[in-house]
Amino acid sequence: MKKLIFTTLFTLFLGFSMAQEAPKTKSFSLPSVDIKTIDGKSFNTKDIQNDGKPIIICFFATWCKPCMVELKSIAEVYDDWQDETGVKIYAVSIDDSRSSAKVLPLVNGNAWDYEVLLDENQDFKRALNVNDIPHTFILNANKEVVWQHASYAPGVEQEYIEIVKKLLEEKP
């Protein structure tokens, strides 16, 4: 029992002490992982880009309800976001072979304009230390992750676009 408490506390302490470090390092570049595009082409995550404008990466799966709500909500305002800020959204599906073939009809069926990537083996998810989905990352002009958020609550997308706007203002 003692051991359990000790290890638990220790692990948490370590986690948070490292988490505290995060602001110091501020931002980090995306890891290089081979995944696939929605047409089955291989794609390296280093090639995620938006001509020097901010990028949002949303991890999702077809079976994840909050993820669907998030992507549908953003889809309603995505045109406005793009007009105002030029932001680009990459939606990364972690569906496995049970449902990965559903991603394409789902994306087309909902008429989403996102760039959609398939992370069937969850290599990209692991490399970014994503525990659960939905999980969202915001990247600055240099393609560095400057902000991330786990879970989805209605209205949180408002915060995404505010951060994107701030990034644009910071730009010299």
Q: How far is the CB of 65 from another protein (least distance, A)?
A: 4
Could you say whether residue 120 binds another protein (CB under 8 A)?
A: yes
Identity of the residue, 84 or 132, whose beta carbon is nearer to another protein in the bound complex: 132
Which window, 49-57, 60-68, 84-92, 164-172, contacts another protein (CB under 8 A)?
Answer: 60-68
Specify which residues 59 forms β-bridges with.
92, 135
Q: Which one of residues 96, 142, 170, 171 is an interface residue with another protein (CB under 8 A)? A: 96
Dihedral angle sign, alpha carbons of residues 111, 119, 43, 36: negative
Q: What is the Cα–Cα distance from 105 to 116, expressed in whole angstroms?
A: 12
Confirm or reject binding of residue 110 to another protein (CB under 8 A): yes
84 binds another protein (CB under 8 A): no
- Residue 111 touching another protein (CB under 8 A): yes
- CA–CA dist 124, 101 (Å, integer): 19
Tell me the window of 19-27, 52-60, 79-87, 164-172 that interacts with another protein (CB under 8 A): 19-27
| Residue 46 burial (CB count, 10 A) | 13
Question: Which is nearest to 91 in space by CA: 105, 109, 74?
Answer: 74
**Which position among 51, 98, 169, 172 is part of the footprint of another protein (CB under 8 A)?**
98
* Among positions 82, 85, 143, 149, the unique one binding another protein when judged by CB under 8 A: 149
CB of 152 to another protein, least distance (A): 9
Interface residue list for another protein (CB under 8 A):
1, 3-4, 7-8, 10-12, 14-19, 21-22, 24-25, 28-29, 31-34, 39-42, 63-65, 72, 76, 96-99, 101-102, 104-111, 120-123, 126-132, 135, 147-151, 153-156, 158-159
